[in-house]
Amino acid sequence: MTTTELDLAVARYVSPVGTLSLVASRRGLRAILWPADSEGDQVDRVRLGKQARRSTPVLDEAERQLDEYFAGTRLTFDLLLDLQGTEFQRQVWMSLADVGFGKTRTYGEQAKRLHRPTATRAVAAANGRNPLSIVLPCHRIVGADGSLTGFAGGLETKAFLLDHERRVIGLEPRWSENRLF
């Protein structure tokens, strides 16, 4: 393991969509793992292994901003990130931050905005590997017909997040019954 891999820290974050695992390096937030994710399955994505569970300034700030997001007082995130992926994946992931709170965009629209209009499937695949759900809001990307499609946290969670954002900005929920998990 490299020094960076040995310096990862994990915090459990209890949210309305379940207990999430926040993973950080010394450089920034590296991953948000969903309840159904097992740490063993995520080794290739975040090189987590058996890292220490502890508090760090990066994790504390991520928890504070997630609290504000779920309270409806934060519309964008301002966190140090430590994205691990190809240059293309990082471009796709960072473009997610351009999708406004409470808005949606299709995979095709995202590909066009990245100046890769024929790369819809590659963009969708990169979104599927987004290690920072919610913070880099892949839940705001929908199918060409506006339907909800794949999401690591599950489609119920995607619906909850989208409707949470719609309520915060004064729109009617569209996708779910808005139950808390």
| Catalytic residue IDs | 138
Alpha carbon distances (Å) from 95 to 64, 126, 171? 23, 11, 24
Q: Do the beta carbons of residue 44 and residue 88 sit within 8 Å?
A: no
Residue 136: strand, helix, or coil? coil
**30/8 Cα distance (integer angstroms):** 9
Task: Name the residue among 68, 58, 64 with its Cα closest to residue 23.
Answer: 58
In this structure, the number of other CB atoms found within 10 A of the CB of residue 54 comes to 11
